C-alpha cells in the first residue's frame, strides 16, 4: 500500500488506522475506545487503556537488550562521556524515582526540571513518567522572571536543578537564577533537588534544598514499579511562547503520545531497535522531549544526549560521534547547519558516515542553499519536517519509512498520516484547493494522537487560541501561512501572528515589547521579526524614549540600547534579546492607532511596505528606513 492510500485511510478510517499503530507500544490494559471526540475540539485517545511512558521507553527493552546502549551522554564542555545500557538506565531512573517519592511527589504532582544537558535530566523526566508525576522542563539558564511565571503556573511540588550549565566553556550558574525565581513566585516548592556538577559554588536553602548525590547513595538498590496510568493522564507540561506575556503550558497525554512517537520513529525517522539516534536539540524544547528522550528509547534505540556546540573542539565533533556510535538517524536545525557552513567543509568528509540513513532538519524554514550544501557535503538524504510544540511530532514531512519519495528543497513535505491539513482563506474560512494559493495552514479536528490535550489549567484558552481564529470553523490554526504545489508538497511562508522564530526558538514579539516597555525611559515600542541569513529570523526593536534629551550622539544611544537589552535579558533570557534596539521619535501607526508592524518588517527586509494611505505620520517609516539603511 502506497503512502497516498495509507494517508487517506488514516483520515477516513481513523480508528482502525490508529488501533494498528497502538500495537507498537505496551498496554497494561487495552484501550476501550480509540478516539473519543464527543466534546470537540477535545480529543481523548485510547481512553480506558492503561500504560506507562517510562515502561515503554526503558523497562520493556531490558529483557531483550539490557546490556545494549540506551543513553549516551557526551559533553564537550566538561570532557565527559558515559554510556548507560538499558539495565543501567533502569537502575538510575528507579533511584531518581525513589528520591522523588521520598520528597513527597505522588501521581499527578508536578515536578519542574531546570537542567543543563546532563544524564540526570533524562533520569528525572523518566522518573516522573515512572511514578505518574507530570514534569515541566524549563530550558536551562532561562531568566528568573520567566522561570517564576512557569513555577507559578505549574505549581510544582519539587524542582530538580543543577549548580550550572556550560556553553562554549563559559559557566552559566543556575542556582542564583532559580533562587530568584522562587523568591518572585507566589508558589513555593516543598523541595529543590540539586545536582552538583562542581562548576559553580552555591548557597543551600536550609530545609528546602536537597543534595542529589547524597540521596542517590541511599537509594542505590531502589526498586520502584511503574505506575500504570490511564492513556489520557497528563505526561508533561511544556511552556511555549504566545502572543501575550502569560505562559502557555502545552499539556500532553501519555498513551496517545507513546503511540505517536513509536509510529513516527518507524514511519518517519527510520529507527530500528539496537541502532543509535542523535538529536542535537535540548531537552528544554519539544524536540528534546520527543526525539532525545522518549521517541528513540520507545523504539529501543540508543539516544545521544550532547552538551556542547557544533564547532567545539572543531566543526567535526558531531560527525565524529556519528562515526563512533554508528548513528543511523540524526536530527538537527537549519541554524546549526548554517553555522557549520561557515567552517572548513573538509570536516564533512573526515569521518565515516556510512551508518547514517538521513539527516532530519526542523525548527524553522529550511532554505534551499543550506539544504543543498549539507546534502552535497554529507552525501545523505536531507529530510525537512515541520511541526510545533503543540503537536509533539511532525505535521508535514516525507514518510520514507512507508514509501520512498523525493524531498523538494524549500518544502518540509506533504501532510503526515493522521493530520487532516487544509489551506484556508483567513477571512472567509473557505478551503483553497488549487495549487499555489496562499492560505492559513489549518488542521481539521480531531488532532491525531500525541498532540496537545489542552492548555494546562485553561481549557478556554486552548479553544480560543487555537480553534477560533478562522471565521465560522472549528479548526486548529498553526498560525502559519502556506501554499501547496501541484504534487501536494507544502511550503511554509511565515507566521500570521506575532510569534517569531529565532534559530528554532519561538519568541512572542509582544512579550519582548512588554519587557522593553518596563524600562522607565521607554514610552512605546514595536518589535518585529526580520529575516536573517544565519538564524532564520531575529527580533528588531524600535522604541520611542520618554526623554531623548540625553541621546545626543551615537555613544549615548549605544549605552541606552545596552541598558534596554539588559532589561530583556534579565526578564526573558539572552535568547529573547533583540538584535538591535533603535530609537525613533514616532512609530508608524494607522489613524485609528494600530501599529503597522508588517510595514516595519517590510522596510527592515528591504521589501515594499505596501499601501500606506492609512498611515498617520509618513515620517515614521522614513526614520526606520534611514536607521536600517534602506
pLDDT along the chain (630 residues), means of 10: 96 98 98 98 98 98 97 98 98 98 98 98 98 96 90 98 95 96 98 98 97 98 98 97 76 98 98 97 95 98 97 96 98 89 91 97 83 93 96 98 93 97 94 94 98 98 96 94 95 79 79 87 90 90 92 93 94 90 88 75 86 73 86
Q: Are 511 and 245 in contact (CB under 8 A)?
A: yes
Q: Are 192 and 161 in contact (CB under 8 A)?
A: yes
Return the beta strands (E) in 433-521 as ranges: 439-444, 454-455, 475-484, 490-495, 499-502, 505-508
- pLDDT score at 126: 99
- pLDDT score at 523: 84
Q: Report phi then psi at 370, rounded to 5.
A: -65, -45
User: What CATH number corresponds to the domain at position 526?
Assistant: 3.30.300.30
Which DSSP helix (H) or strand (E) runs through 564?
A: helix 554-572
- pLDDT score at 611: 62
Instruction: Take residue 83 and report the three cell numbers written for it.
Output: 554510556
Q: Pairing mode, if any, of strands 454-455 and 248-252?
A: antiparallel
**Is residue 19 situated within a structural domain?**
no
Which DSSP helix (H) or strand (E) runs through 75?
A: strand 69-75
Q: Which residues, listed in sequence order, are joined to residue 171 by a DSSP beta bridge?
A: 166
Q: Which residues, listed in sequence order, are joined to residue 414 by a DSSP beta bridge?
A: 397
**Is residue 382 situated within a structural domain?**
no
- pLDDT score at 597: 84
**Is residue 348 situated within a structural domain?**
no
The dihedral through the CA atoms of 615, 618, 623, 625 has a sign that is positive
In angstroms, the CA 200 to CA 347 distance is 34
**Is residue 569 situated within a structural domain?**
yes
- pLDDT score at 592: 56
In angstroms, the CA 345 to CA 319 distance is 12
Domain count, the chain: 1
- pLDDT score at 235: 98
Q: Could you count the other beta carbons within 10 Å of the beta carbon of residue 26?
A: 15
Q: What one-character-per-residue DSSP string does 7-73 give?
A: HHHHHHTHHHHHHHHGGGS--SB--S-SEEEEETTEEEESTT-EE-HHIIIIIHHHHHHTTSEEEEE
The answer for 329, left when phi > 0, alpha when psi is -120 to 50, beta otherwise, is: beta
Q: Report phi then psi at 587, rounded to 5.
A: -100, 145
- pLDDT score at 385: 97
**Is residue 401 situated within a structural domain?**
no
H helices present in 47-195, as ranges: 53-54, 60-65, 86-102, 119-131, 144-154, 175-184
**Is residue 561 situated within a structural domain?**
yes
The three-class DSSP label of residue 608 is: coil
**Is residue 14 situated within a structural domain?**
no
In angstroms, the CA 304 to CA 330 distance is 10
**Is residue 387 situated within a structural domain?**
no
Nearest to 526 by CA among 384, 621, 444: 621
- Find the domain containing 623 and state its range: 516-628
- pLDDT score at 351: 97
Exposed / middle / buried, residue 323 (Cβ in 10 Å: 0-12, 13-18, 19+): middle
Q: Look at the block and give the residue holding cell 548557597.
A: 203
Q: Look at the block and give the residue holding cell 524531498.
A: 407
In angstroms, the CA 176 to CA 291 distance is 30
Long-range residue pairs from 615-619, CB within 8 A, at least 24 positions apart, any chain: 615/588, 615/589, 615/590, 616/588, 616/589, 616/590, 616/591, 617/586, 617/588, 617/589, 619/586
Amino acid at each position: 500500500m502506497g503512502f497516498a492510500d495509507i494517508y487517506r485511510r488514516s483520515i477516513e478510517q481513523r480508528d482502525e488506522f490508529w488501533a494498528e499503530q497502538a500495537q507498537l507500544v505496551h498496554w497494561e490494559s487495552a484501550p476501550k475506545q480509540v478516539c473519543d471526540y464527543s466534546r470537540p475540539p477535545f480529543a481523548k485517545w485510547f481512553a480506558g487503556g492503561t500504560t506507562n511512558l517510562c515502561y515503554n521507553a526503558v523497562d520493556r527493552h531490558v529483557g531483550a537488550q539490557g546490556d545494549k546502549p540506551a543513553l549516551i551522554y557526551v559533553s564537550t564542555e566538561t570532557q565527559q562521556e558515559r554510556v548507560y545500557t538499558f539495565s543501567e538506565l533502569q537502575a538510575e531512573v528507579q533511584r531518581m524515582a525513589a528520591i522523588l517519592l521520598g520528597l513527597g511527589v505522588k501521581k499527578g504532582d508536578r515536578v519542574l526540571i531546570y537542567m543543563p544537558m546532563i544524564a540526570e535530566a533524562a533520569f528525572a523526566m523518566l522518573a516522573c513518567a515512572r511514578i505518574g508525576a507530570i514534569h515541566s522542563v524549563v530550558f536551562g539558564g532561562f531568566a528568573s522572571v520567566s522561570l517564576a511565571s512557569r513555577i507559578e503556573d505549574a505549581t510544582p511540588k519539587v524542582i530538580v536543578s543543577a549548580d550550572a550549565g556550560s556553553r562554549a566553556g563559559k559557566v552559566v550558574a543556575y542556582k542564583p537564577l532559580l533562587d530568584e525565581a522562587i523568591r518572585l513566585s507566589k508558589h513555593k516548592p516543598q523541595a529543590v533537588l540539586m545536582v552538583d556538577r562542581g562548576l559553580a559554588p552555591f548557597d543551600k536553602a536550609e530545609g528546602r534544598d536537597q543534595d542529589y548525590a547524597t540521596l542517590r547513595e541511599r537509594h542505590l538498590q531502589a526498586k520502584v514499579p511503574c505506575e500504570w496510568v490511564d492513556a489520557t493522564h497528563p505526561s508533561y507540561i511544556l511552556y511555549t511562547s504566545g502572543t501575550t506575556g502569560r505562559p502557555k503550558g502545552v499539556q500532553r497525554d501519555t498513551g496517545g503520545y507513546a503511540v505517536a512517537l513509536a509510529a513516527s520513529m518507524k514511519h518517519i525517522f527510520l529507527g530500528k531497535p539496537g541502532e543509535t539516534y542523535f538529536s542535537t536539540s535540548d531537552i528544554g524544547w519539544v524536540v528534546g522531549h520527543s526525539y532525545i528522550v522518549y521517541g528513540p528509547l520507545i523504539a529501543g534505540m540508543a539516544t545521544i544526549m550532547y552538551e556542547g556546540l557544533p564547532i567545539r573542539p572543531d566543526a567535526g565533533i558531531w560527525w565524529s560521534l556519528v562515526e563512533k556510535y554508528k548513528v543511523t538517524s540524526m536530527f538537527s536545525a537549519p541554524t546549526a547547519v548554517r553555522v557549520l557552513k561557515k567552517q572548513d567543509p573538509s570536516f564533512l568528509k573526515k569521518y565515516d558516515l556510512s551508518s547514517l540513513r538521513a539527516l532530519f532538519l526542523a525548527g524553522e524554514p529550511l532554505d534551499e542553499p543550506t539544504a543543498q550544501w549539507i546534502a552535497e557535503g554529507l552525501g545523505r538524504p536531507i529530510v525537512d519536517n515541520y511541526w510545533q510544540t503543540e503537536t509533539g511530532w511532525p505535521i508535514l514531512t516525507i514518510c520514507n519509512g512507508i514509501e520512498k519519495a523525493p524531498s523538494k528543497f524549500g518544502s518540509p513535505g506533504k501532510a503526515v498520516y493522521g493530520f487532516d491539513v487544509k489551506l484556508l482563506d483567513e477571512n472567509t474560512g473557505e478551503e483553497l484547493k488549487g495549487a499555489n494559493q496562499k492560505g492559513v495552514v489549518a488542521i481539521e479536528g480531531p488532532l491525531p494522537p500525541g498532540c496537545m490535550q489542552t492548555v494546562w489549567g485553561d481549557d478556554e484558552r486552548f479553544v480560543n487560541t487555537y480553534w477560533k481564529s478562522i471565521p465560522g470553523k472549528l479548526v486548529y490554526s498553526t498560525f502559519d501561512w502556506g501554499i501547496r504545489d501541484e504534487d501536494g508538497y507544502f511550503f511554509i511562508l511565515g507566521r500570521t501572528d506575532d510569534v517569531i522564530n529565532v534559530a528554532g526558538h519561538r519568541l512572542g514579539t509582544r512579550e519582548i515589547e512588554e519587557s522593553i516597555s518596563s524600562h522607565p525611559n521607554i514610552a512605546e515600542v514595536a518589535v518585529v521579526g526580520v529575516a536573517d541569513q544565519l538564524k532564520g529570523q531575529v527580533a528588531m526593536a524600535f522604541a520611542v524614549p520618554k526623554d531623548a534629551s540625553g541621546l545626543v550622539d551615537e555613544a549615548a544611544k549605544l549605552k541606552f540600547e545596552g541598558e534596554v537589552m539588559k532589561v530583556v535579558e534579565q526578564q526573558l533570557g539572552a535568547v529573547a534579546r533583540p538584535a538591535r534596539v533603535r530609537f525613533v521619535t514616532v512609530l508608524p501607526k494607522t489613524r485609528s492607532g494600530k501599529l503597522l508592524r508588517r510595514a516595519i518588517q517590510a522596510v527592515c527586509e528591504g521589501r515594499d511596505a505596501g499601501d500606506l494611505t492609512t498611515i498617520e505620520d509618513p515620517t515614521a517609516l522614513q526614520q526606520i528606513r534611514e536607521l536600517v539603511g534602506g
